[in-house]
Amino acid sequence: MAPNRRIEILPIEPVLIGHTLLSSAPRGDETQIAEVAPRRPAELLCHRHQTSQLRVIRGAVDLIVLQNRRFQAIALREDEATWLVIPPGVPHAPINRGCLPAVLVNAVLHHANGLGPEVGDQRRDSRRIPPTLLEEWQALVA
């Protein structure tokens, strides 16, 4: 059976306890906090041995993904809480079009790669934009 290589958007299922609204992260092998600086050039990345499960907790980002040989922009915002699941092998690039840094939580799932979980997929592969998609890429990241 081939692995799922499609982006999934999962709703947050919050629970109100007193005056506190709680929500749990998806299952992951490690949790990372990432800060996406505003107005930086976009870099297309692809993780070979991890699934990224992202949620914006401050600010907003446009996540550009390459899926079905087309680029797609997915808006992620702190006030529209969702988890975005990026499986291994899906090229993606976060873009912060705001003035302040955006903060994301990444509940990372490591997949067997022969290197062991301590090495995981810390190496990110930068991807060149295929010439046939360059115009579409430039329109999305502008």
- pLDDT at position 4: 65
pLDDT of residue 126: 59
Question: In the prediction, which pLDDT does 113 show?
Answer: 60
Structure confidence at residue 140 (pLDDT): 85
Question: How confident is the chain (142 residues) per 10-residue block, as mean pLDDT?
Answer: 74 85 84 93 88 95 92 94 93 95 94 54 60 85 79
Q: Domain spans of the chain? A: 8-141
Tens of pLDDT, residues 70-89: 999 999 999 998 999 999 99
CATH superfamily of this structure's domain 8-141: Jelly Rolls (2.60.120.10)
DSSP line for the chain: -PPP-S-EEEE---EEETTEEE-PPPP-SEEEEEEE-TTPPP--EE-SSEEEEEEEEESEEEEEEEETTEEEEEEEETTB-EEEEE-TT--EEEE--SSS-EEEEEEEEE---SS-TTTTT-S-EE-PPPGGGHHHHHHHH-
The pLDDT score that the predictor gives to residue 3 is: 56
